[in-house]
């Protein structure tokens, strides 16, 4: 295993072979599905949030 440029890890084919095999049709437990849905909802709300004018002014000064 080696580190990627952004701090993540890149798995080599040898490392991937060591991972437990997951079936393609494995069911996702309800609590995991609900957690994923909640996280997607929060993410969507965050990216749709308006950027405050004060922040835009500060960012404009960086140019």
Residue given tokens 């004060």 in the structure block? 54
Question: What pLDDT shows up at residue 56?
Answer: 94
- The average pLDDT across 40-61 equals 95
Domain range summary for the chain, segments of one domain joined by +: 26-63
Statement: residue 42 has pLDDT above 60 = yes
Question: What pLDDT shows up at residue 1?
Answer: 46
Cα 33 to Cα 30: distance, rounded to the nearest angstrom:
5
Residue given tokens 């922040």 in the structure block? 55
Give the tens place of pLDDT for each residue, 13-29.
566 566 666 555 568 88
Question: What pLDDT shows up at residue 2?
Answer: 47
Statement: residue 30 has pLDDT above 50 = yes
10: helix, strand or coil? strand
Phi, psi at 3, each rounded to 5° = -80, 140
- What do you get for the CA distance between the two ends of the chain, in Å? 40
Cα 15 to Cα 36: distance, rounded to the nearest angstrom:
26
């Amino acid at each position: 295993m080696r580190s990627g440029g952004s701090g993540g890890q890149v798995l080599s084919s040898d490392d991937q072979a060591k991972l437990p095999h997951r079936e393609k049709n494995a069911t996702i437990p309800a609590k995991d599905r609900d957690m994923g849905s909640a996280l997607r909802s929060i993410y969507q709300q965050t990216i749709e949030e308006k950027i405050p004018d004060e922040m835009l002014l500060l960012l404009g000064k960086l140019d």
